[in-house]
Amino acid sequence: MTKTQSLNTDDIVEIADDNPIEHAQQHEEFEYTPIDHFSHFSGIGVSLLYLVAAGATLWEVVARYVFNSPTQWAFEVVMVLCAATWMLSAGYITLKNRHIGITVIHNIASPKAQWRLDLFASCIGIVALFLLLSDASMRAYMAIDHIERTGSAFNSPMPMVLKTLLMLGGFMYLAQLTVNLWRHVNSRWAKTIVKLIGLFMALYFINGVLAYISGPGSIFDGVSGYFSAVGQSLDPSTALNMRSYSLGVISLIMVTMLVSLMMTGMPLGIVTLIVSVVMAIAFFGPRGLYLVSANTATLLDHYTLIAIPFFVLMATILEKSGIAEDLFDAMSVFAGNLRGGVAVQTVVVAVILAAMSGVMGGEIVMLGLVALPQMLRLGYDRKMTIGLICAAGALATLIPPSIIMIVYGLSAEVAIGDLFMAGAVPGLMLAIFYALYVLIRVHINPKLAPTAKEVAELTGEERKLSKSRLSAVFLSIMLIGCVMGSIYGGIASVTEAAAVGALGAMIVSAVRHEFKWAMLKASLVGSMATVGTIIWLVLGSVSFVGIFNLIGGADFMRSLFMNLGIPAIGVILVMMLILVILGTFMEWIAIVLITVPVFAPVVMTLAPELGLTPDQAKVWFGILFVLNIQIYFLSPPFGPACFWLKSVAPKDISLQEIFISVLPFIGLQVVGLILVMSFPQIALWLPEALGN
């Protein structure tokens, strides 16, 4: 695997991607404006806050267990540091076009159609952010004026800071999106119009803050009053009279708007945000914008979300330190003279990497770079090798610490630790299925895989690990055991364990002599960009779900499921079918944030009929959900795992060959899903046993 020896500024800014492990594709070169420079360097700068937050979390753990004196400040300080990174990375992510979108139709459109879709997306994004900030900025001014505090023992002004950060992040997003639009249009008059729009928005928000400072009766207050009067005159709520429509019609309107905008390739966070804004104004008039800004602001104080950047940072550091290659070499000792032993060791390494990262894309890329070339060189069957690497890499969705489980737990209000424990056994079960499938196939047809003796004769070489590399492997496994053990044993929260894991990964990289400033910068910036894309999507989705629930859409969907007239397990099957359909065109995080708030309450209601308690039902359904998402990751025609492997596979491996190769492993995943659905204790027994 290629190691990064040194990174300049240009290298750093290309790391951020949907996949936190690999470098992004090169961007079109253009001359930076002052706003571009600010977005660029602010993104790199705030990424360092993750390191400070991890250190503060570690100090809280040490103070509690070593000195028996827990701090009063760590929780709130860490929340502010991470929220600052999430919000102030908006400009960087927008500059680098890293926001997540469904680009299936966009990719097959003509260049002219793509240009129009991008223009439409930018315009909608500017409108959505402008309307959001028109209310969120006022809430921030009031919070600053009153110095809103938490009321805790530390009593920090965290609410004030979080609202201010949301406003600043929104302004950075809006400013950078406007610059992107200015760069996107070609004609002089179009560029002039974009400049005038940008100038108007800047004057509008400057006048807003001056009006608040100067108070009633000032000229600035008069201008603000004029804008408010214009907004009231354009109030569509009375004319539309949305309350006269049935909940079914309203739900259909919202879903239609959502899917239609998603298909344009527009960033999913903007899609959910604009639908929220439109429906809030349609129902409640301009005052409805408060509901949208309030929903987005409440997300920033969810402590569970902090685990995501720490786990991503841990995974990125371990990968960039070359641990994946060392693990693959170290596991060869377990293969012995077993036919297909290298394939089995690949599954074992995949399980360990999954427990290190929780990020599927990075794991598949690592296995594609390390395991795929070697297995092909040794004469392993191509289709079996390709399918195995895709399936084994996807185990990161199920084996803790899974990022998908964290987002599901936040949406369904389930303890993350319970989900982690529940996912461990099904994840190991699938890993065993994959290994047994390979062993059975090579036993039936020995030509599919060589033995270790045949490998030695073929290569004429023996793989050995240096003392430092072997120590790094053992330390990595110990790190996983400590992180997961502290969660399962109730010693530390998920967030605390993740922070310890991130700092432990730095120690492992130091043992391997790979802990360099260039590597750390690349890991921090990659983590900042990856998590930032997730958070801005979650912000939009939370506002969408909040408005949808407020107008009664969630109650309508729940009643729809409850009145299907089929047994409880039939309702679960219908939900699984919906997830399969959504998985053909929608990103996993959008599926989680849109469906789980609707599905989870229904599952809790059906719990007695399923023979489970409501809490058991939510955990069990969470594992079914993740298993379904794992199937989606491999399934043609849009399985992300297949595309990730294709990005690093030899050129003679086609995407069609990858799709054909994963089909047997999709069958094994379906078997695992059916088993967990039929026997819930496969998922539930470990959290119950450890809980007792």
Rounded Cα–Cα distance for residues 673 and 430 (Å): 10
Grouped pLDDT means (10 residues each) for the chain, 692 residues: 34 34 41 91 93 91 84 88 94 89 79 92 94 92 90 84 94 95 92 95 94 90 89 83 84 86 86 91 88 84 83 81 71 63 83 74 73 78 89 87 85 85 92 92 83 62 61 76 76 83 86 85 89 86 83 79 84 88 74 83 88 90 91 79 78 83 92 93 87 65
SS3 248: helix
Residue 16's pLDDT is: 33
CB atoms within 10 A of CB 56: 17
Q: Which residues are paired to 101 by β-bridges? A: 267
SS3 101: strand
Contact between 397 and 672 (Cβ < 8 Å): no
Rounded Cα–Cα distance for residues 463 and 524 (Å): 32
Rounded CA Rg of the chain: 26
Residue 83's pLDDT is: 93
Please, what's the b/e burial string for 180-208 (b: 16 or more CB within 10 A of its CB; e: otherwise)? bbbbebeeeeeeeebeebbeebeebbebb
For residue 444, count CB atoms less than 10 angstroms from its CB and return exposed for 0-12, middle for 13-18, buried for 19 or more: exposed
SS3 267: strand
CA dihedral 63, 520, 633, 368 (to 10 degrees): -130
CA dihedral 267, 272, 278, 282 (to 10 degrees): 170
Take residue 305 and report the two structure tokens written for it: 């979300």
Q: Which residues are paired to 267 by β-bridges? A: 101
Phi, psi of 492 (to 5 degrees): -135, 155
CB atoms within 10 A of CB 553: 24
419-423: which pairs have CB atoms within 8 A and are 24 or more residues apart? 419/619, 419/622, 419/623, 420/484, 420/487, 420/488, 420/494, 421/488, 421/686, 421/687, 421/690, 422/619, 422/620, 422/622, 422/623, 422/683, 422/684, 422/686, 422/687, 423/398, 423/399, 423/623, 423/626, 423/683
Greatest CA separation for the chain: 90
Residue 667's pLDDT is: 93
Residue 334's pLDDT is: 55
Contact between 556 and 569 (Cβ < 8 Å): no
Residue 469's pLDDT is: 64
